[in-house]
Amino acid sequence: MAGDINRRICLAARPVGEPVPGDFALVETPIPVPGPGEILLQTLWLSLDPYMRGRMNAGKSYAPPVALGKVMVGGTVSRVLASNQEGFRPGDFVEGRTGWQEYALATGRELRRVDPALAPLSTALGVLGMPGMTAYTGLLTIGRPEPGETVVVAAASGAVGSLVGQIARLKGARAIGIAGGPAKCDYVVSELGFDACLDHRSPTLPADLAAACPEGIDVYFENVGGAVWEAVLPLLNPFARIPVCGLIAHSNATRLPEGPNLVPALMRAVLSNRLTLRGFIVGDFADQQEEFLTDVGAWLRTGQIRHREDIVDGLESAPAAFIGLLQGRNFGKALVRVAAEG
């Protein structure tokens, strides 16, 4: 492969508001040569996830930003092409965080083996990967739904939301989804088995949500923010739990919304209803990975959990697909097939 080209997508400019194609640059470099202890990986699948928008900003968040000119961060499933590291052999499949590029070097410590006999490789980036574990840990550790309780989640046809609702149902709770448009809402109810799914584009969303939650809301899994959170807040029951793992509705905001300032109303609700709001990222629950893979793997094999992928082909498709993800245009877990598996 010497002399071959590694195509990479780098951060060319920090977006102002919604990212545009010019914020990304496709850069060609030689395929790297693995040194002592290093592994050469070929990317097969690249995951596109909302958190990446935060990494394009300069500001501090729970993780440092991508530096200008550097490869965009991202989870990947790759094939080992060459290895100077014990335990990794050409042909092995691994999940890692090697970013938006066709080839990458790794040392092995940051990789997790993926067995293609257990589940399709791409699931290691979705239902059996970071999004799935986000849903599983946030819902069960913070949300803790009880039988008969009502769980609400937005982006309900997406990688995280779809699993939140299905796990809530498996735990005996009611699952109410919110999604964009009738096709996604139909899918969430008829394929995923949610009790109801509401269109967040409806001007009557607050009333629709109230009607769908006649006994109030006990768990709101927060992954969007914005208008959905404002519709949820008045419906929360005493002692409701709100795991907060994402705020995609605010991702592209360049300034704070106009007033009034609703913080006092939010804090009043926290007090009056004894709410628990807790932010988390999946890495906070790394010790639950075995349990997650065991449980969700079993539910997947028995058909108790379904999932859906939205695949685009070729690394060069990643920027447009990512911009579409932030606009809610994907339908299912957003993935880039960077190279064929076979």
Give min distance, CB of 266 to its own copies, in A: 6
Contact in structure between 305 and 32 (CB atoms under 8 Å): no
Verify binding: residue 247, its own copies, rule CB under 8 A: yes
Choose, by CB under 8 A, the member of 259, 286, 302, 340 that binds its own copies.
259
Choose, by CB under 8 A, the member of 26, 193, 280, 288 that binds its own copies.
280
Verify binding: residue 62, its own copies, rule CB under 8 A: yes
Report how far residue 273's alpha carbon sits from residue 276's, in angstroms, rounded to the nearest whole number.
9
Please give the backbone phi and psi of residue 22, each rounded to the nearest 5 degrees, phi first: -70, -10
Choose, by CB under 8 A, the member of 28, 35, 60, 117 that binds its own copies.
60
Give min distance, CB of 260 to its own copies, in A: 4
Residue closer to its own copies by CB (options 84, 273) is 273
Strands (DSSP E) contained in the chain are 5-11, 24-30, 39-47, 76-83, 93-96, 103-106, 112-113, 150-153, 174-179, 196-199, 217-221, 236-244, 276-279, 309-313, 333-337
Kindly provide the b/e burial profile for residues 123-162, where b requires at least 16 CB atoms within 10 angstroms of the residue's own CB: bbbbbbbbbbbbbbbbbbebbebeeebbbbbbbbbbbbbb
Verify binding: residue 263, its own copies, rule CB under 8 A: yes
Verify binding: residue 237, its own copies, rule CB under 8 A: no
**Of 298-337, which residues contact its own copies (CB under 8 A)?**
none
Verify binding: residue 261, its own copies, rule CB under 8 A: yes
Contact in structure between 45 and 337 (CB atoms under 8 Å): yes
* C-alpha dist (Å) from residue 147 to 45, 167, 173, 229: 37, 12, 5, 23
Give min distance, CB of 133 to its own copies, in A: 16
Which window, 186-194, 205-213, 274-282, 329-337, contacts its own copies (CB under 8 A)? 274-282
Written as one string, the DSSP assignment of 152-174 is EESSTTSHHHHHHHHHHHHTT-E
Give min distance, CB of 89 to its own copies, in A: 38
Which window, 133-141, 198-206, 271-279, 329-337, contacts its own copies (CB under 8 A)? 271-279
Which window, 42-50, 101-109, 161-169, 219-227, contacts its own copies (CB under 8 A)? 219-227
User: 159-170 and 289-301 helices cross at what angle (nearest 10)?
Assistant: 80
Give min distance, CB of 276 to its own copies, in A: 4
Choose, by CB under 8 A, the member of 281, 288, 295, 304 that binds its own copies.
281
Report how far residue 61's alpha carbon sits from residue 245's, in angstroms, rounded to the nearest whole number.
13
Residue closer to its own copies by CB (options 280, 331) is 280
Report how far residue 199's alpha carbon sits from residue 270's, in angstroms, rounded to the nearest whole number.
26
Residue closer to its own copies by CB (options 27, 269) is 269
Verify binding: residue 229, its own copies, rule CB under 8 A: yes
Verify binding: residue 25, its own copies, rule CB under 8 A: no
User: 159-170 and 130-137 helices cross at what angle (nearest 10)?
Assistant: 40
Verify binding: residue 16, its own copies, rule CB under 8 A: no
Question: Which residue ranges make up the site for its own copies (CB under 8 A)?
Answer: 60-62, 222, 225-226, 229-230, 238, 244-247, 250, 253, 255-281, 284
